[in-house]
Amino acid sequence: MQVRVGSGRGAVVVAVTLAAVLGGCAKSADGDGRDAVNASPAAKGEGAAKGAATASGGSIGAAGSACELPVRFDIAKHWKAKAIDAEAELSKASKGSDGDLSGSLADAFLRQGPVAAACEIDAKPAGHIGFLRVWTGKAGKADAGSVLRQFVAAEDNVSKERYHSFRTGSGLTGVEVEYLYTSKLLDETKTETALAVGTPDGPVVLHLGGMDTEEHEAMRPAYELAKRTLEST
């Protein structure tokens, strides 16, 4: 996903607003908050943080949870989930002072391939810089593998994609990918991971980014927890 910000003041306002909606971090911008490492003492205790990542902090996805989704899964202890209403944000942006430009910026932040942002789970309270994001799509004939490939292709600047099928403990099947993403802004390459499953209500994609590959790997236990407990709602 590429974001092109215009020179107008309104475009900057929209970009800042959307960044706030997505926790100040969209795609490669997972690494823009490096100072937060110093603000989080838990980040210095890497062993403790990794241990906490494997402990469940409750589940999301069901009605009444922080994010209501077509699937439910456990989130790691101390990670904080926040729902994103992509359609509402897109509608709001399209009515902004910059019209089409605002809408384009919103679309770049809130959509990726065939899916839209639905939930953001922030790792900072657990001492890491990154997010586990949930993206959902409309019900249709596209299988999980096709959806995931379109999702990755829409990110741009990716390489060495490795896809494979998986099955959760509940019997839910899906496709997972690990790949490298190169940020043109930061001139850095890092590992990212995502999975996709199909549900009667449409496809769901879980994506784990991170400030860099080291942070990605440190957060991986939280992603594996989500994957292991994933089931339809």
Within-domain flag for 100: no
pLDDT digits (tens, 9 = 90+) for 67-84: 999 999 999 999 999 999
Segment 16-50, tens digit of pLDDT: 344 444 443 344 445 433 333 333 434 334 444 44
Domain-embedded: residue 145: yes
Percentage of the chain surpassing pLDDT 90? 60
In-domain check, residue 101: no
pLDDT band at 126 (very low <50, low <70, confident <90, very high): very high
List CB contacts of 123: < 8 A, sequence separation 6 or more. Answer: 76, 79, 129, 130, 131, 132, 219, 222
Tell me, what CATH number does 225's domain have?
3.40.1000.10
pTM as predicted? 0.78
Q: Domain residues for 48? A: 33-85+114-232
Q: Which has more pLDDT, 216 or 37? A: 216
pLDDT for the residue numbered 170: 84
- Per-residue pLDDT for 200 more than 60? yes
Residue 100: pLDDT band with limits 50, 70, 90: low
Residue 119 has pLDDT above 60, yes or no: yes
Instruction: Please say whether the beta carbons of 86 and 98 come within 8 A.
Output: no
Quick check: is 24 in a domain?
A: no
With 70 as the cut, is the pLDDT of residue 6 above it? Answer: no
Q: What are the structure tokens assigned to 19, written together?
A: 């960044």
Q: What count of other Cβ atoms lies within 10 Å of the Cβ of residue 171?
A: 8
| Predicted confidence band of residue 89 (pLDDT cuts 50, 70, 90) | confident
Say if 122 falls within a structural domain: yes
- Tell me the average pLDDT of the chain: 80
Nearest to 193 by CA among 179, 213, 212, 204: 179
Report yes or no on 218 lying in a domain. Answer: yes
Give the torsion sign (CA, 42, 51, 120, 216): positive
Distance of CA 10 to the CA centre of its chain: 26
Instruction: State how far the Cα of 158 lies from the Cα of 138, in Å rounded to an integer.
Output: 25
pLDDT of residue 54: 74
Determine what percent of the chain falls in helix, strand and coil, rounding each to the nearest 5.
35, 30, 35
Q: Is residue 210 part of a domain?
A: yes
Going from the C-alpha of 41 to that of each of 30, 36, 117, 125, 232, the distances in angstroms are 19, 10, 30, 10, 36
Q: How many domains does the chain have?
A: 1
Whether 124 is covered by a domain: the verdict is yes
Q: Quote the CA–CA distance of 159 and 228 in Å, as a whole number.
A: 26
